Amino acid sequence: MLAESIRREAETLDGAQIAAEIKREVAAEVVQLAETYGFHPCLAVVRVGDDAASEIYVSNKVKTSNELGLISEHHVLPASTSQTELLAIINDLNNRDNVDGILVQLPLPEHLNSIQILEAIDPEKDVDGFHPLNVGRLAQGLDALAPCTPAGIIELLERYKIETRGKHAVVVGRSNIVGRPMAQMLLKKDATVTITHIFTENLAYYTSQADILVVAVGKIGLITGEHLKTGATVIDVGMNRIADAAEARSLFADSELEKRLAIIAKNGSTLIGDVNQREAMPKAGRITPVPGGVGLLTVAMLMKNTIKAAKIRRFRQAVTK
């Protein structure tokens, strides 16, 4: 009883450390590909318009590829770009033999048809894993170029040796970027998977049964103590900002609070996920922080996907598994 009452906080899952590990592996593989086969994998990133968040995400992707020895192309197009113009650029990237990966940053401006754009990308160069062919392969449990954020979460679980087989994994959120592919990947790893979302009635009924809980909704404080099973692994994919110090006091654990209040005082706001860390820390077994959790893994996995795409296409490596 006493041991339980002085129970420690959840273990923090260090996304930064795992991302650094993955990036080191990618950099080593880039050197090996260059030495053995004489090429450097090339990632082409396309951004349309001037969405501020996209600008930061894309420059991060380009910067990381350069750091790891990949070749990167950064195509920045005006918000007025037409569907035909964007399709022509993708067609050109599809046809260029030195381009291994193509990423079109989302969201696109309203007047563009994202579905048609994503379907125009050569599935072998689809490093985001958003093309229906890759989505279908993933749904069939086959190897595929898979979306980077959920693929990064799988790497995190594997590298921390967190068992998925037979465990109940609950995913909150059903986006094409995180929730749906996450559920497929957990299923492939033999978890029993429940998908919930913003319209799920009595969300806590489901989440409180989760051995592994992945939350990707974009709603501050969505997951509180009552949503958690004691000892659960909690993966917080949310990326929100709060500016209110009183609100911060109800959301951050004591161990984190002072630092966050200082950040709010200095910058006007601080990053926060979808999980109430103050309530989750004493109850969860392991938890990802925000920032420093899954966000960093996404970029690392994009680099890994670019190498994978290069190998599949250049070596015509059979992808049958």
Q: Which residues bind ligand GUN (CB under 6 A)?
A: 103-106, 128, 148-149, 177, 298
Distance CA 11, CA 147 (A): 26
Is residue 128 part of the annotated active site? The answer reads: yes
> In sequence order, which ranges of the chain are alpha helices (DSSP H)?
2-5, 15-37, 52-67, 83-95, 114-120, 132-139, 148-159, 179-188, 203-207, 245-251, 254-267, 277-280, 294-315
Catalytic residue among 100, 105, 122, 188: 105
Is-catalytic flag, 100?
no
Catalytic annotation, pick one of 126, 128, 211, 236: 128
C-beta closer to ligand GUN: residue 64 or 149: 149
Q: Is 105 a catalytic residue?
A: yes
DSSP letter for each residue of 144-181: ----HHHHHHHHHHHHTT---TT-EEEEE---TTTHHH
Least distance from C-beta 177 to ligand GUN, angstroms? 5
From the candidates 14, 23, 61, 277, give the one annotated as an active-site residue.
61
Closest residue to ligand GUN, based on beta-carbon distance: 106
Measured from the CB atom, the residue of 191 and 297 that comes closer to ligand GUN is 297
In the complex, the smallest distance separating the C-beta of residue 104 from ligand GUN, rounded to whole angstroms, is: 6
Nearer to ligand GUN, 20 or 56 (CB): 56
In whole angstroms, give the CA distance from residue 76 to residue 118: 17
Q: How far is the CB of 127 from ligand GUN (least distance, A)?
A: 9
163 CB neighbour count, 10 Å cutoff: 13
Minimum CB separation of residue 126 from ligand GUN in Å reads: 10
Rg (CA), the chain: 20
Distance of CA 186 to the CA centre of its chain: 14
Q: Among all residues, which ones are annotated catalytic?
A: 61, 105, 128
